Amino acid sequence: MTTSPKTIQIFLPSGDAHGIRIAEITTRIVQVIEVPRSLLSDFLKMEQSSQVGLYLLIGEDSEEGEQQVYVGQTGDLRSRLATHNQKKDFWERALVLISKTNSLTQTHALFLEWHSLQQIRKAGRFNDENGNSGSRPHTPAPLEAECLEIFETGSILVSSLGFPLFDSVVSSKPEEKEPDGLFYIQATKQGVTGEGVYTSEGFVVIAGSIANSEHSQSIGDANRRWRQRLIDSGAMAKNAEGQLTFQKDHLFRTPSGAAMALLGRRANGWTEWKDRQGRTLHQVKREPGS
């Protein structure tokens, strides 16, 4: 994905910031339309719902709180989304990708559906409801290049609307996983060895980091339940040596949340996380001149 500056326009058809939102990069033909489920009937009256499109149904697992997505494509958005409204319970918002020039074909849509699923699974932020994603559809090379350009635009718009489905929790910037971009936590007595990255979204604990297998008494009931959910969801699991280990890169909203997950106690992540020189995250990121 390119990192050049872009201008994104978000149009509110009803004037309601919480209603239907239409996002586009002003120099490109792709639009992504965010549709709250409660306003689906309004979208189905819009001209855009008559097109070939890719759609993503977004929701949350009520028990685990995990974000979920279903990816589909259709030449008849009105009929397909109406059917999903009747038969699928989990979703609360639909994201619909179309062309402003009505130029998407079924071949485009099939490739975009397949490619979107691969990228969602690679990013690992959302659990998909699709099951088997099927085989890669046959797409001539020129058309595949066009599809990838469409996907690039769509993924930027989807993220800009607040749904980073396709984005790794650690940026693709090479310096973030280089030693100079890493921060560390160690607690030898508890066997804790963690490393992580401070990003624009929060703090990411890197896969393979080893956490305290016990909770301290001081952590509190709410935090103990929160940490247990990380274990129950599989974010942390026992390895062959019995160590509680992060199974993949995991994004926390704050450095302190990341530190508490590893240490099993209340923690100030701004002072617990340190770089290779022993400087705290606070010193590196918040002190003047850092």
Tens digit of each residue's pLDDT, the chain (290 residues) = 447 899 999 999 999 999 999 999 999 999 999 999 999 999 999 999 999 999 999 998 755 567 899 999 999 999 999 999 999 999 999 999 999 999 999 999 999 999 999 999 999 889 999 987 678 999 999 999 999 999 999 999 999 999 999 998 875 444 455 556 899 999 999 999 999 999 988 999 999 999 999 988 888 899 999 999 899 888 899 988 889 999 989 999 999 999 999 999 999 999 999 999 999 999 999 887 65
Domain boundaries, the chain: 8-160, 174-285
Count, residues in the chain: 290
Would you say 54 and 154 are in contact if contact means Cβ atoms under 8 Å apart? yes
> Which pLDDT belongs to residue 7?
94
Bridge partners of 116? none
CA–CA distances in Å: residue 160 to residues 2, 8, 23, 64, 153: 15, 8, 8, 25, 11
Residue with tokens 């099939």: 110
> Which pLDDT belongs to residue 240?
86
> Which pLDDT belongs to residue 63?
58
Backbone φ and ψ for 280, nearest 5 degrees, come out as: -75, 160
> Which pLDDT belongs to residue 66?
78
Would you say 198 and 281 are in contact if contact means Cβ atoms under 8 Å apart? yes
Binning the chain into helix, strand and coil, the percentages to the nearest 5 are: 35, 25, 40
Residue with tokens 């650690």: 170
**Cα gap 212→264, rounded to integer Å:** 6
> Which pLDDT belongs to residue 64?
58
